[in-house]
Amino acid sequence: MAEPKAPGSGHDKLMIGQSAASIYVAHAILILGLVIVAFPIYYTFVASTQTLQTILRPPLPLVPGGEFWNNYAEALFGGAGRLGGVGAGTLLLNTTVMALGIAVGKIMISILSAYAIVFFRFPFRMAIFWLIFITLMLPVEVRILPTYKVMVDLGLIDTYAGLIIPLIASATATLLFRQFFMTIPGELVEAARVDGAGPWRFFFDILLPLSRTNIAALFVILFIYGWTQYLWPLLVTNRNDMTTIVIALKKMVSFADADTQWHLVMVTAILAIVPPILVVVLMQRWFVRGLVDTEK
């Protein structure tokens, strides 16, 4: 077992072959990469603060315009004409419910199935594990027709359940938890048994707290996965007030430039980006720990 780490060790050490020049080069490359990635987002933000007329008459200014409050208020509460009066607020709510539902559901189902596979001995345990593993090869797109049929039969079109449930099982997350659970020493399980912890106690008192960094990392990844879903929400929602912000974005763009309210499209695009960024920023500390630290 490793000795307790001295505070700050491992971070203030220079890396092998590091020199002043290489630090500058490394930073220059990083900044260049950052500009390439961030500029389109910034430009979208700039466009979201201009009037439609300014956007339609190039070139677009490089600094934000004065229409911020008007545009955002109109998008959030006014409702875009092409969406039958549904505001971006409803869209954000729908997308949040779906992304949260998918992330939480996936984590719950996969952690429980991994728990069963790793810590319990039951008939056909390995067969079941391989069945779960094989479903990795069947993405949503492959099973989309039967899934759609089932959703129609169950009357789940245009419901949150219909948006969430078909995407909720996750072989990847099950595998991740399985790998993590297998690193937990058998003696810890036995100590808990001797201490009088049954399967549920062990799960909630020991396994769940030990998995929290993994859960956090997975939550971030799965929330963004859910947020950016396109094909399934497109199929399973017909009503504009049940659709997600990503689908709405697509519906707002018409073939003819003049028909499209570009300033509102830009606002919606920014609104669609903000929640995933918030999740990443707020959970960054946990996210990184879950990826690099084993908490032992």
Partner 1 sequence: MATVDLKDVRKVYPGGVEAVKGVSIAIPDKELCVLVGPSGCGKSTLLRMIAGLETISSGTCAIDGKVVNAVGPTERDIAMVFQNYALYPHMKVYDNMAYGLRNRGTPKDEIDSRVRSTAKVLELSHLLDRRPRELSGGQRQRVAMGRAIVRNPKVFLFDEPLSNLDAKLRGQMRVEIKNLQRSLGVTSVYVTHDQLEAMTLADILVVMNAGLVEQMGAPLDIYEKPASTFVASFIGAPPMNLLAVTAKPDSPANTPEKLFANGASLGIAAPVHAATLGFRPEDADVIGEGTKPSGALKLSATVEAVEPVGAESFLYCAAAGGRIVVRVSGRAAAKPGDRLEVMVPAGKLHWFDSTGKRA
**Which residue lies nearer to partner 1 by CB, 141 or 187?**
187
Rounded least distance, CB 162 to partner 1, Å = 38
**Which residue lies nearer to partner 1 by CB, 259 or 293?**
293
Q: Of 115, 126, 94, 119, which is closest to residue 186 (Cα–Cα)?
A: 119
Rounded least distance, CB 92 to partner 1, Å = 35
Q: Which two tokens stand for residue 43?
A: 């430009």
List contacts with partner 1 (CB under 8 A).
1-4, 185, 187-188, 190-198, 201, 205-206, 209-210, 295-296
**Which residue lies nearer to partner 1 by CB, 153 or 187?**
187
**Which residue lies nearer to partner 1 by CB, 40 or 196?**
196
Q: How far apart are CA 43 and CA 61, in angstroms?
A: 9
| Amino acid, res. 281 | V
Rounded least distance, CB 187 to partner 1, Å = 4
Residues in the chain: 296
What is the sign of the dihedral through the CA atoms of 232, 215, 117 and 97? negative
Rounded least distance, CB 122 to partner 1, Å = 15
**Which residue lies nearer to partner 1 by CB, 146 or 198?**
198
Rounded least distance, CB 111 to partner 1, Å = 16
Q: Where are the alpha helices (DSSP H) in the chain?
A: 20-47, 52-56, 68-73, 88-119, 125-134, 144-153, 160-164, 171-182, 186-194, 199-201, 208-210, 212-227, 231-236, 245-252, 262-282, 284-292
| Amino acid, res. 52 | L
